[in-house]
A and B are shown apart, each in its own frame.
Chain A
């Protein structure tokens, strides 16, 4: 199969960047999309050119490191699929594919298709955890969790943090990502003590990092390779509202003695 690739080339964060055209002959149907780029890169190295930089690691769709847009769609057109799991049998002879990095103010380009997604780490830092230290946990079976709640929590926890939701959103909102973590912990008994505070601080951090607001367009969920549902944003908003209405400064204090 013959394909034409128009790939975004940008030397570093300061470079303006441009699309460069590459003709691919003999693309095998069984290849993954990234394997096709591997083949291109081997060819570029052979010619003494710099290969296309793109991130990938596990190549089984779970680490969340890979991702770019193909013809404007994050991870391409196949549902529930990261680019590392996207196989060439879904493309046809002569297609022109435009590859560009996930675009968002909060995701500066590192080089070519590789971006900096550390803003998402900082959202987790703002409260995407249960505040417990190793060593103090009680027996796991002493916390009963209904199968349904556990399954719903797992659905939300499946987020791989790839950033496709942000790239798909016209507002570059990371609400699906943020809502997924808030939902996972909010559904479980372990997450209750910090539930409201978590929603408040994570949502605040989300805005501070330069992500846009959610206007419930739904592109995020469509693009999500793990099928995270819009419902997580509703749950986030609910917790955020509850948190806002009942917000009190910490009373401080601390023990004497």
Chain B
């Protein structure tokens, strides 16, 4: 078993980041241009890191598989971004944001990382505003705030229902400026397919040009992965169609530990699935729960239309069970509650897999216009998809896979156990514990990219010891061969079924047995099923076309092959964690009223899994979580 050094600086919590910055080695400005950094991904974390590196003077190579960096899936984040600005005079502070985030994560995140996140949150708002991000404003010209789940203060900044889009376009504009200045070289439609490690350090990647099919090596002094999460292994999720785990999974196979893969977030408010052809699920922002009330009929099988069901026959179950937080209970709790009422036969809509999100009361109170101003684009989107008008009929919503808290293990500097490999944003495991609070993903992505990695990577580079090497090094040649062989293999199987066929099968197993409610029995069933699907995939998948041109089926095949391995690890992780925490709910471990029951004595650790080679079991390494500043307690939102 390896020892994990989280490298948390000593000293009081509120001095740790300052202390760390003071102790860092710096790179002389004139020397920065001698270093090259690879950044994979152009979402909030990737674009903010790449542009910041360029601003500092480093040479940057930035990769994305989309046709332009502005498409990264951060763009779809709707509701907002948290920051402890305390502009509302409502008692917010860095401490409170820190505490809410740790508690929201069910006490399974590192104190020091989360505190730093809260500490730099205010600077993010300043930076984005300076870039020209059009945050919502009050009439007097000050920034507006709204509330989000898991918090009793208003600290969420937003740009209509398109906050992620505006923040990403801000980061993208800074990135484009650096491309223009020649500091960042952009590689769109290029997918990282392997990580190259030389002398124990991450030194480059092998990537495929998705248009020409050309496989090329890229060398650097450090590699930064900001490639997002792996929610798509469930097939249906709110992630973009092409979100995948390949970059982090390839790095994992090269030695980077994978932490807490079982912590998956199921978002409570998504548009329910309509049919077998469904390709993805669409989120309806959590911000809607500010003004929408969630309910189901009290009687099972009540087929009356919602406007015919009187107040007395409705169960506003979140308000009933969690009077303090009500409809703003955190995501894991709201999702489980929705599942419970639907399992009890109270669900509405086709198949009984839905609950109402009702705006009639707030529309009476505030007027339709105010609601349209706050959520107009979300209402329009709902109507386009369902054909129903949410201004007159309550929305129907159901939980869906949305985000993953797990990811590659990183230390306080966001460096993985592989020296020279840094991991940012959703791709790492660092800040959200077992459950992420709403409006915190944007915060983390930008904190990592603008305000953490520009410091910590300098320290790594300044400490030296990075040997001279070129892409003719044997490690690059070997990785290129692995990539080529895999491509040839996919194209030569010529089996009976498409990639999607296998992906749907995997998704079904994951959702049913490793989804919102997990048991030893269901997990063991999945551990039977996943290797079988994987074996059949490698025997019987059909990938048409060639490797020498634009071939979307080939891209999908590679991503699914990696999901088929990661799905198994996720399940092992869920099986070893004999407790319920946040997004990981084991039915064996619950309180009498159905809440998650943690086991702090035995499971207050981050599980960091080590790849031991094809066909070998993973080895579990544990990083104990020390809580020095807060009391572990049962999470309650009642």
- Residue positions of A touching B, CB distance < 8 A: 11-12, 28, 30-32, 34-36, 38-39, 42, 44-46, 48-51, 53, 55-65, 78, 80-81, 85-87, 89, 110-111, 114, 116-118, 120-121, 124-126, 128-141, 143-147, 150-151, 153-154, 157-158, 160-161, 184-185, 188, 190-191
Contacts and interface: CB of A to CB of B under 8 A. Distances in A.
Nearest to B144: A147
B328 interface: no
Contacts of A133: 52, 55
Give 7 nearest A-B pairs by CB, closest first: A144-B141, A129-B173, A137-B130, A140-B129, A137-B126, A150-B137, A125-B180
Interface of B: 48, 51-52, 55, 66-73, 75-76, 85, 87, 123, 125-143, 159-160, 162, 165-166, 169, 172-174, 176-177, 179-180, 186, 188, 211, 240-242, 274-275, 277-280, 282-283, 380-381, 384-385, 387, 450-451, 454, 498, 500-501, 542, 544-545, 549-550, 552-553
Interface centre among A89, A133, A146 (most CB of B within 10 A): A133
B142 A130 contact: no
A85 B385 contact: yes
B68 A110 contact: no
Contact of B544 (A50, A56, A64, A124): A50
Contact of A58 (B76, B87, B545): B76
A161 B68 contact: yes
A151 B165 CA distance: 15
A184 B132 contact: yes
27 contacts: A28-B275, A34-B279, A36-B277, A38-B277, A38-B279, A38-B500, A39-B277, A42-B501, A48-B542, A48-B544, A51-B553, A58-B71, A58-B75, A65-B66, A85-B385, A89-B387, A110-B211, A116-B67, A124-B172, A129-B177, A130-B173, A141-B143, A150-B137, A157-B133, A160-B165, A161-B68, A190-B129
A112 to B, nearest CB: 9
A57 B85 CA distance: 34
Contact of A118 (B68, B498, B545): B68
Contact of A134 (B127, B141, B550, B553): B127
Given A146-B141, A157-B166, A121 B550 contact: no
A30 B275 contact: yes
Nearest to A159: B169
Contacts of B211: 110
B67 A63 contact: no
Given A117-B67, A125-B177, A35 B279 contact: yes
B598 to A, nearest CB: 34
B552 A53 contact: yes
Contacts of B73: 57-58, 63
A126 B180 contact: yes
Given A58-B240, A147-B141, A137 B123 contact: yes
Given A62-B165, A110-B550, A158-B162, 10 more contacts: A50-B544, A55-B67, A58-B73, A60-B280, A111-B549, A137-B123, A140-B128, A144-B141, A147-B138, A161-B68
Contacts of A128: 173, 176
Contact of A50 (B48, B135, B381, B545): B545
Interface centre among A35, A59, A89 (most CB of B within 10 A): A59
Given A46-B498, A58-B73, A125-B177, A146 B68 contact: no
B240 A118 contact: no
Contacts of B500: 38, 42
B48 to A, nearest CB: 7
Nearest to A136: B130
B387 A60 contact: no
Nearest to A123: B176
Contacts of A64: 70-71
B240 A63 contact: yes
A163 to B, nearest CB: 10
Contacts of A161: 68, 70
Contacts of A184: 132, 134
Nearest to A153: B134
Contacts of B179: 121, 125
Contacts of A146: 137, 139, 141
B575 to A, nearest CB: 33
A84 to B, nearest CB: 9
Interface centre among A55, A60, A136 (most CB of B within 10 A): A60
A57 B66 contact: yes
A150 B173 contact: no
Nearest to A59: B280
Nearest to A129: B173
B410 to A, nearest CB: 20
Contacts of B135: 140, 150
A56 B275 CA distance: 20
A130 B133 CA distance: 10
Nearest to B169: A157
